[in-house]
Amino acid sequence: MAYLKTTTFLLIASIVMGVNEAPAQPGPSTDLGDRQRQHVRDKVNESRGYRPDGTRADKPKADKPKADKPSKPDKPKLAMAQTKLKTNGFDPGPIDGIVGPKTVEAVKAFQASKGMTEDGKLNAKTFAALGV
């Protein structure tokens, strides 16, 4: 039954889109036809699981980073911070760009030595104090 509905819909869509017709003459009436054809294309794509912007509907859209919440630093930046911690005498563990328990402890010790809030987080203030 679903096959019959889809086939019928595609047949009607091809007729509306003018597959078997001569090309439309340019003029004011073409705009309405173009909009109708685009509407049919959008409906066909929607029935195939696509959004109007071309992304798949079964996959969630990527969230945009919020302006008030800073994004996570990338691995090279974290590795550089770990290197700076190590050169300043604080052991962050392996220089791998991953914030593990040793890195958190090293950050807390560094923050304490600089009179900063000891939260163990590599935020903008901590990066600035490290010179990263």
Please check whether residues 81 and 126 belong to one and the same domain. Answer: yes
User: What are the angstrom distances between the C-alpha of 106 and each of 50, 115, 127?
Assistant: 48, 14, 13
The secondary structure of 37-86 as a DSSP string is HHHHHHHHHHHTTB-TTS-BTTSPPPPPPPSSSPPPPPHHHHHHHHHHHH
Domain that holds residue 20: 2-47
Q: Number of structural domains, the chain?
A: 2
What would the two tokens of residue 92 be?
A: 């962050």
Q: What is the pLDDT of residue 5?
A: 62
Q: What is the pLDDT of residues 103-114, one digit of tens each?
A: 999 999 999 999
Q: Is residue 56 part of a domain?
A: no
H or E element in which residue 13 lies: helix 2-16
**Type of residue numbered 69:** K
Q: What is the pLDDT of residue 43?
A: 84
Max Cα–Cα distance, the chain, nearest Å? 80
Q: Is residue 110 part of a domain?
A: yes
Q: Is residue 52 part of a domain?
A: no
Q: What is the pLDDT of residue 13?
A: 62
Enumerate residue ranges in the chain where pLDDT < 70.
1-32, 59-72
Please check whether residues 121 and 83 belong to one and the same domain. Answer: yes
Q: What is the pLDDT of residue 91?
A: 92
Q: Is residue 70 part of a domain?
A: no
Q: What is the pLDDT of residue 37?
A: 81
Q: Is residue 62 part of a domain?
A: no
Q: Is residue 13 part of a domain?
A: yes
